[in-house]
């Protein structure tokens, strides 16, 4: 099966893509292009999937650079392939030939590019990381490499949508405590439950940070099982594990 890769003109001329689960070698609950070594999928199968993604990015597999994601605001500036992943949630580079990657299964994958300076970034932004400031920190790290905020284009890839993202009052309280105006990203759900609009929250933070363009591809990971993995869907079904989608960008 052919890989399915979602792209956006705003990130051109850089090679990039939000990969769906189509075209992979995994089976069972991981069926498709599971690129997460942190899953319980077979190591060799994940290696095959990552090699397919690398080929699509026109780099060798060792040039798919990622981090050990921990829902933080830490950003790593990459100049070469690290020996082992560091604990962080975003990467930036101005080095040609490296494909920056993040893995997601409901959280926001965010790819950023500044064509004039030749700087790109990739971010794993769940609600905790976004609240902690990982998007703003990534923009700052890109600036340190010569990028202009106004010249940065940022695209949020497939993520869980508001209609599928039911949260409790604790999350609402934490987000609103940071900024009362952010209450606008919640809708009333059942009982004390709320529906959180994670992609719109991410877009607002990117725009406040001053990027020139910010958009969301509009894809919901939870509701489209044939194309995307979803942690929350796996929990609701009481499945043992779930696959991880890969998103990547390179100069």
62 phi and psi angles, rounded to 5 deg: -70, -10
Q: What's the confidence (pLDDT) of residue 83?
A: 61
Q: What's the confidence (pLDDT) of residue 209?
A: 97
- Using alpha carbons only, give the angle 102, 116, 140 rounded to the nearest 5 degrees: 50
Strands 108-114, 99-104: pairing kind = unpaired
The Cα 71–Cα 65 span in angstroms is 18
The contacts of residue 187 (CB under 8 Å, 6+ apart) are 162, 194, 195, 197
Give, for all 251 residues of the chain, the pLDDT tens digit: 699 999 999 999 999 999 999 999 999 999 999 999 999 999 999 999 999 999 999 999 999 999 999 999 999 999 987 767 799 999 999 999 999 999 999 999 999 999 999 999 999 999 999 999 999 999 999 999 999 999 999 999 999 999 999 999 999 999 999 999 999 999 999 999 999 999 999 999 999 999 999 999 999 999 999 999 999 999 999 999 999 999 999 99
CATH tag for 5-159+214-250 (out of 1.10.3720.10, 3.40.50.1950, 3.90.180.10, 3.60.140.10): 3.60.140.10
The Cα 17–Cα 154 span in angstroms is 13
- Domain residue ranges of the chain, discontinuous segments joined by +: 5-159+214-250
Q: What's the confidence (pLDDT) of residue 1?
A: 67
Beta strands in the chain (DSSP E): 5-6, 15-19, 64-65, 75-77, 90-93, 99-104, 108-114, 119-125, 153-156, 166-167, 186-188, 194-196, 213-216, 245-250
**pTM of the entire predicted model:** 0.96
Q: Are 146 and 171 in contact (CB under 8 A)?
A: no
Q: What's the confidence (pLDDT) of residue 80?
A: 80
Q: Are 106 and 222 in contact (CB under 8 A)?
A: yes
């Amino acid at each position: 099966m052919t890989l399915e890769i979602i792209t956006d003109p705003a990130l051109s001329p850089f090679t990039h893509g939000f990969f769906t689960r189509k075209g992979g070698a995994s089976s069972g609950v991981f069926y498709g292009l599971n690129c997460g070594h942190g899953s319980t999928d077979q190591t060799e199968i994940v290696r095959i999937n990552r090699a397919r993604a690398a080929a699509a990015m026109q780099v060798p597999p060792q040039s798919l650079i990622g981090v050990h994601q921990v829902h933080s605001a830490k950003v790593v500036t990459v100049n070469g392939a690290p020996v082992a992943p560091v604990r962080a949630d975003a990467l930036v580079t101005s080095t040609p030939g490296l494909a920056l990657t993040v893995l997601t299964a409901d959280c926001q994958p965010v790819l950023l590019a500044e064509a004039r300076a030749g700087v790109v970034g990739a971010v794993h932004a769940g609600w905790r990381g976004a609240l902690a400031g990982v998007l703003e920190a990534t923009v700052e790290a890109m600036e340190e490499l010569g990028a202009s905020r106004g010249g940065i284009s940022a695209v949020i890839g497939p993520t869980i949508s508001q209609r599928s993202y039911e949260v409790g009052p604790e999350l609402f309280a934490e987000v609103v405590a940071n900024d009362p105006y952010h209450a606008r990203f919640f809708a009333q759900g059942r009982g004390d439950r709320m529906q959180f609009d994670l992609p719109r929250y991410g877009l607002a933070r990117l725009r406040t940070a001053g990027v020139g363009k910010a958009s969301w591809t509009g894809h919901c990971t939870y509701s489209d099982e044939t194309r995307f993995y979803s942690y929350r869907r796996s929990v609701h079904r009481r499945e043992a594990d779930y696959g991880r989608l890969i998103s990547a960008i390179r100069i």
